[in-house]
A and B are shown apart, each in its own frame.
Chain A
């Protein structure tokens, strides 16, 4: 019998260039972590389900930020009660029963991920571990309408990334120290165009 899959075999691939900032992933995350697991049910629940992920504008693009499930994970190392722990598959999850609300993990996280809530204590991404066990992609990935979040076998995603990076180098849009490629114009996405238009007059960011 083959060993069960682990987190190392799978990757969530985040492509900010494709993110339109619609926050569908945030809604899907909150629904997945609700009692009813249904949008119309979730909005009526108390405590109200919260998303674990958050789309933030940064460096001119939108980035859907989430838990990186580090290994070793600074939050797990920092947790004094063992509430922050690793599942058999390797995902970092927090156990509300053992959490004393010291919020050390919030400070330890290099990605600003966990949030704190009075009733639910530390709230963080569990990589939809239940769905993972059923062979399903995480809810956020499933909800993404543009492919800014993709999910698959690590090897396949990394191969795909190699191809993309190679294309960028050839097109001259990526930094490459030892490869010289003549730059060629790459079509801009309409969202990138929109951001560019406001460059001169934007007062924030």
Chain B
């Protein structure tokens, strides 16, 4: 009997060690393990727990061979070949996989473009006079857009120009006829447009391309995987070169074109002595106003009176975090998988969300603490959240109302349940195309010379999400380190950019980790080896940069020593981004496997045949070290073809 307490202690120790291993295995971010442990102690479940509870995930879904597009189904194709090889309608695995993937792509393009639609609405509200709390901050950019669209700017004032630009851009969504999208004509390089015309994938209108995918994938319409994927590429181009592009261009006009600035990242930006407001989602129309409202002296005083000596601390998450990080220097608390952990610090008074990548689970997590989740968008309600509809006509007033809810909630914080990680890291963000040009001295020549001489071997754009299927941040950090080591300059957006910020790769000092050539260039220009270009709609900035570089060198985008990558992608938006990169002529690496392995033909089209059609193709490799090798080989090959030294 005397042995029992001892053996129980051993058992407890073993159990603790097993949990510890779990906490430490899910992420390379130093804040995650400790907060995951706290979350469990507090009875909070996270995406990692739910991911494990979902195992095994259905193989039909993983392979893309389950079809639910009509009510004769659901149908499934047996991947082992013993069972049915066709759905009730006769659709093969090839048809089903292609249809499913295109529906993902359409949803992604819809999400980006609908975000753009909301920004155009506000932008148009300025000349119309009702969007009183928004201004044209970057008139030069507005004039540039107008000129690119062929709109007369001489002798006209900003409001007049804005009115006409808004009309043209609004028309992008649903314009009739076969004419290409205006932004595509305005911004895509001529060589690219010729390819798209030849292949028959020149996008006509954003909503139309999305609608056409929904039509083609309806029961009994398009059964040919190649034809389906071609329409997917057309839809993706409508997103990249028009929908997302519009969101970026107009956000710059409304809130300022980003310029390099210093800020901090990771959960350590949450402050014990302040009212903490986390803005999470995607659209700066909301987050910028929340950040401005937090500066309101009356609300700050109210916070101090309630005992929050540090006043009001707005921090960002996901892409709206990137939007205010790169324009206002607002600290960013983390990327997508950290949304629950941020609440588990016990120190958030409010989580203010708009749309995209907001896990409905945050309401359950918040219910374990005093945190209030505030939804603001008519199209994104979450049961259990407080809904304060964000009225763009009285934006500051609504923003102040939301901030006030957070401030008043400070008194409900239980200090005993607060645990804020210490980790935060400095970063430099805000490398818009304009800022990169400025850093280069106003011309692309220094970059072109560095590429030609081989100081910089190539450029890789890394984007996208984080995903519990793979170690959080591991793919982003490893791939970036491996590539900069090989003198490859990295540009990127989204959750990648936040991961980089947290791991110190967005600092000029990180040039030490780069190869000698890239290091020299970075040190000469005072820039980091990995450049934060913005939020996920800002992948359009990379398109502009690549187009400009190709034009400058007198080549087409596929000739450039460049590639794209989404090492930890999960969202449908990433399917659209990856596809518009491919259609724009890039090799695109995917670090999580898309649901396509059920069809050899679809895999072949995406990874081989696409190159012959549009110059770009996908390749899939979860291991970031191996992926870096493939990308570096691809870049070496492109350099050889250009006659540049390897």
Binds B, one of A28-36, A41-49, A73-81, A194-202: A194-202
Q: Residue of B at shortest CB range from A189?
A: B80
The verdict on B7 contacting chain A, using a C-beta distance below 8 Å, is no
Known contacts A20-B60, A23-B56, A190-B598; A200/B623 CB under 8 A: yes
Distance, CA A57 to CA B530, complexed state (A): 38
Q: Residue of B at shortest CB range from A144?
A: B83
The verdict on B52 contacting chain A, using a C-beta distance below 8 Å, is yes
Pairwise interchain contact B597-A203, C-beta atoms closer than 8 A: no
Pairwise interchain contact A146-B470, C-beta atoms closer than 8 A: no
Pairwise interchain contact A22-B58, C-beta atoms closer than 8 A: yes
A interface, size bucket: 20 to 34
Query: For the complex, would chain A's binding face be called helix, strand, loop or mixed by DSSP majority?
Result: loop
Pairwise interchain contact B622-A197, C-beta atoms closer than 8 A: yes
Distance, CA A131 to CA B623, complexed state (A): 48
Nearest Cβ on chain B to A96's Cβ, whole angstroms: 28
Pairwise interchain contact A190-B470, C-beta atoms closer than 8 A: no
Q: Residue of A at shortest CB range from B470?
A: A201
Distance, CA A57 to CA B57, complexed state (A): 9
Pairwise interchain contact A194-B76, C-beta atoms closer than 8 A: no
Pick from B59, B80, B471, B598: contact of A203, CB under 8 Å: B471
Distance, CA A2 to CA B58, complexed state (A): 43
The verdict on A18 contacting chain B, using a C-beta distance below 8 Å, is yes
Pairwise interchain contact B597-A193, C-beta atoms closer than 8 A: yes
Distance, CA A201 to CA B76, complexed state (A): 29
Pairwise interchain contact B52-A21, C-beta atoms closer than 8 A: no
Pairwise interchain contact A20-B59, C-beta atoms closer than 8 A: yes
The verdict on B469 contacting chain A, using a C-beta distance below 8 Å, is yes
Q: Residue of A at shortest CB range from B625?
A: A200
Distance, CA A104 to CA B251, complexed state (A): 65
Pairwise interchain contact A198-B622, C-beta atoms closer than 8 A: yes
Pairwise interchain contact B82-A201, C-beta atoms closer than 8 A: no
Query: For the complex, would chain B's binding face be called helix, strand, loop or mixed by DSSP majority?
Result: loop
Pick from B26, B80, B620: contact of A147, CB under 8 Å: B80
* Chain A residues, CB < 8 A from B624: 201
Q: Residue of A at shortest CB range from B26?
A: A203
Distance, CA A180 to CA B610, complexed state (A): 45
Pick from B56, B60, B76, B475: contact of A57, CB under 8 Å: B56
Distance, CA A148 to CA B620, complexed state (A): 28
* Chain A residues, CB < 8 A from B56: 21, 23, 55-57, 62
Distance, CA A198 to CA B474, complexed state (A): 13
The verdict on B25 contacting chain A, using a C-beta distance below 8 Å, is yes
Distance, CA A193 to CA B58, complexed state (A): 15
Pairwise interchain contact A190-B79, C-beta atoms closer than 8 A: yes
Pairwise interchain contact B59-A201, C-beta atoms closer than 8 A: no
Pick from A193, A197, A201: contact of B475, CB under 8 Å: A201
Nearest Cβ on chain A to B24's Cβ, whole angstroms: 9
Q: How many A-B residue pairs have CB under 8 A?
A: 88
Q: Residue of A at shortest CB range from B62?
A: A194
Distance, CA A33 to CA B232, complexed state (A): 44
* Chain B residues, CB < 8 A from A194: 62-63, 593, 597
The verdict on B55 contacting chain A, using a C-beta distance below 8 Å, is yes
Pairwise interchain contact A146-B25, C-beta atoms closer than 8 A: no
Pick from A18, A190, A197: contact of B620, CB under 8 Å: A197
Within 155-205 of A, Cβ neighbours of B (below 8 Å) are at: 189-191, 193-194, 197-198, 200-204
Pick from B79, B83, B623: contact of A201, CB under 8 Å: B623
Pairwise interchain contact A191-B623, C-beta atoms closer than 8 A: no
Distance, CA A55 to CA B623, complexed state (A): 27
* Chain A residues, CB < 8 A from B60: 20, 22, 145
* Chain A residues, CB < 8 A from B597: 190-191, 193-194
Pairwise interchain contact B25-A197, C-beta atoms closer than 8 A: no
Distance, CA A200 to CA B628, complexed state (A): 14
Pick from A55, A191, A201: contact of B62, CB under 8 Å: A191
Pick from B52, B58, B78, B80: contact of A204, CB under 8 Å: B52
* Chain B residues, CB < 8 A from A189: 79-80
Pick from B52, B76, B598: contact of A145, CB under 8 Å: B76
Q: Residue of A at shortest CB range from B28?
A: A203
Nearest Cβ on chain A to B209's Cβ, whole angstroms: 30
* Chain B residues, CB < 8 A from A57: 55-56
Q: Residue of B at shortest CB range from A150?
A: B82
Known contacts A146-B78, A198-B469; A21/B623 CB under 8 A: no
Nearest Cβ on chain A to B341's Cβ, whole angstroms: 16
Distance, CA A93 to CA B582, complexed state (A): 58
Distance, CA A200 to CA B621, complexed state (A): 10
Nearest Cβ on chain A to B75's Cβ, whole angstroms: 10
Within 51-93 of B, Cβ neighbours of A (below 8 Å) are at: 51-52, 55-63, 76, 78-80, 82-84
Distance, CA A197 to CA B58, complexed state (A): 17
* Chain B residues, CB < 8 A from A191: 59, 62-63, 79, 597
Pairwise interchain contact B83-A147, C-beta atoms closer than 8 A: yes
Contact with A along B593-604 (1 / 0, CB 8 A): 100011000000
* Chain A residues, CB < 8 A from B59: 19-22, 62, 191
Pairwise interchain contact B80-A18, C-beta atoms closer than 8 A: yes
* Chain B residues, CB < 8 A from A146: 78-80, 82-83
Distance, CA A193 to CA B82, complexed state (A): 18
* Chain B residues, CB < 8 A from A18: 80, 82
Pairwise interchain contact B26-A190, C-beta atoms closer than 8 A: no
* Chain A residues, CB < 8 A from B474: 201
A: residues with CB less than 8 A from B are 18-23, 55-57, 62, 145-147, 189-191, 193-194, 197-198, 200-204
29 contacts between A and B (CB under 8 A): A20-B59, A22-B60, A22-B76, A23-B58, A55-B56, A56-B55, A57-B56, A145-B60, A145-B76, A145-B78, A146-B78, A146-B80, A146-B83, A147-B82, A189-B80, A190-B597, A191-B59, A191-B63, A194-B593, A197-B620, A198-B593, A198-B622, A200-B625, A201-B474, A201-B475, A201-B622, A201-B623, A204-B51, A204-B52
B: residues with CB less than 8 A from A are 25-26, 51-52, 55-63, 76, 78-80, 82-84, 469-471, 474-475, 591, 593, 597-598, 620-626
Apart from A22-B58, A194-B63, A202-B470: 13 A-B pairs, beta carbons within 8 A: A20-B63, A21-B58, A22-B59, A22-B61, A56-B55, A145-B84, A146-B79, A147-B78, A147-B80, A147-B82, A190-B598, A198-B470, A198-B593
The 5 closest A-B pairs by CB, nearest first: A20-B59, A21-B56, A200-B623, A22-B58, A203-B25
